[in-house]
C-alpha cells in the first residue's frame, strides 16, 4: 500500500485492499443507500485540508439559487406549487480542483489507484475516471451562517463526500430513502410533496470531520439544513465518472463555478 495513502487514511480500521472488507462495505451501501466511514481520514490530514480551505476560501465562488427538487426547468403541465415545480433555495461557496494546492492530500487521495479500486468495488462500477475539465473532480464547499442545500434528487447514481469542518449548529444532512424510481419514470409526486411539507419521518446522517460518506441520492430526497453560528461548514466532494474524458457542461460550470476554466 502506498505510504502516502497510509499517512492519510486509517488503514488499520479501513483495510482498502481486503476483499472481505470491501464486500461488507458494498453490502452495507446496497442495503442502506448510504455508508458512513467514521474517521476515515486521519486527524492530521483533516487539519491540513482545513487549513488549506481557510487559506483559499477567498477564491470561492458563491451562488444563491432557487430550484425544484429535480434540478430541472419548471414543467408548465403542473402549477407552481406542485412538488414538480415548487421552488427551494440553495446557497453555498465552492473552490475547484485547480484551486486546491497541487500537493494537497486531497489530490493524493483522489488520484490513488488503491482508493479508486476500493471505490469501484463498493459502488459496483467497472471503472472510475476523473473529469475531463480541470475543475470538477474535487470541489470544496463552504456554507456559512444561514446557508443551506435545499431538498433535491441527484442526477448521478452516487456521491462521495468528506466532511472537513463541522459548524457550531445546523448543517445537518437529512434524507428520505427511495422516494422515487427515476429509471422507471415513477416520480411519486405525492410522497415528494409530503417530504417537502415534513409530513413523513426524516432520517439524518451524522457526520464528523474525517468521515467519508457514500450516498445514493438519485432516488432518495436529501438536503443540508441551514448552518448556524460563525464556524463555516467545509465539505469535500470527490466526483468521478464511469467513462473517461467527460467534462461538466459549460452551463453547469458557469452556474456552479462562475467560469469555464
The pLDDT tens digits for 88-141 are: 999 999 999 999 999 999 999 999 999 999 999 999 999 999 999 999 999 999
| Per-residue pLDDT at 2 exceeds 80 | no
Q: Which residue has the cell 485492499?
A: 17
Determine the pLDDT at residue 1: 59
| Per-residue pLDDT at 79 exceeds 90 | yes
| Per-residue pLDDT at 194 exceeds 70 | yes
Could you give the CA distance from residue 252 to residue 181 in angstroms, rounded to a whole number? 24
Weakest mean pLDDT among 72-86, 176-190, 243-257: 243-257
H/E run at residue 119: helix 113-123
> Where along the chain do its domains lie?
3-257
Tallying the residues shown for the chain, one arrives at 261
| Mean of per-residue pLDDT scores for the chain | 96
Angle between helices 113-123 and 19-32 (to 10 degrees): 50
Q: What burial class does residue 43 get, using C-beta atoms within 10 Å of its C-beta: 0-12 exposed, 13-18 middle, 19+ buried? A: exposed
Determine the pLDDT at residue 35: 98
Residues of the chain by 3-state class (helix, strand, coil), percent to 5: 30, 25, 45
What class has domain 3-257?
mainly beta
H/E run at residue 32: helix 19-32
Amino acid at each position: 500500500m502506498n505510504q502516502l495513502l497510509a499517512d492519510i487514511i486509517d488503514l488499520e480500521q479501513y483495510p482498502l485492499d481486503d476483499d472481505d472488507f470491501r464486500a461488507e462495505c458494498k453490502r452495507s451501501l446496497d442495503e442502506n443507500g448510504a455508508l458512513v466511514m467514521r474517521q476515515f481520514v486521519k486527524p492530521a490530514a483533516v487539519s491540513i485540508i482545513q487549513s488549506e480551505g481557510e487559506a483559499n476560501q477567498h477564491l470561492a465562488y458563491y451562488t444563491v439559487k432557487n430550484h425544484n427538487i429535480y434540478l430541472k426547468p419548471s414543467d408548465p403541465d403542473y402549477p407552481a406549487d406542485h412538488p414538480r415545480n415548487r421552488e427551494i433555495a440553495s446557497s453555498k461557496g465552492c473552490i475547484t480542483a485547480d484551486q486546491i494546492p497541487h500537493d494537497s492530500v486531497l489530490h493524493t487521495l483522489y488520484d490513488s489507484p488503491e482508493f479508486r479500486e476500493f471505490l469501484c468495488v463498493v459502488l459496483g462500477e467497472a471503472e472510475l475516471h476523473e473529469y475531463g475539465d480541470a475543475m470538477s473532480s474535487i470541489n470544496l464547499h463552504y456554507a456559512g451562517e444561514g446557508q443551506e442545500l435545499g431538498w433535491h434528487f441527484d442526477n448521478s447514481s452516487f456521491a462521495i463526500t468528506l466532511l472537513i469542518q463541522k459548524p457550531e449548529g445546523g448543517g445537518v444532512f437529512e434524507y428520505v430513502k427511495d422516494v422515487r424510481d427515476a429509471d422507471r419514470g415513477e416520480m411519486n409526486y405525492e410522497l415528494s410533496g409530503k417530504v417537502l411539507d415534513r409530513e413523513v419521518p426524516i432520517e439524518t446522517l451524522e457526520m464528523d470531520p474525517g468521515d467519508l460518506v457514500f450516498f445514493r441520492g438519485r432516488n432518495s430526497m436529501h438536503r443540508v439544513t441551514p448552518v448556524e453560528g460563525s464556524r463555516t461548514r467545509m465539505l469535500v466532494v470527490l466526483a468521478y465518472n464511469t467513462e473517461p474524458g467527460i467534462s461538466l457542461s459549460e452551463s453547469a460550470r458557469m452556474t456552479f463555478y462562475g467560469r469555464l476554466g
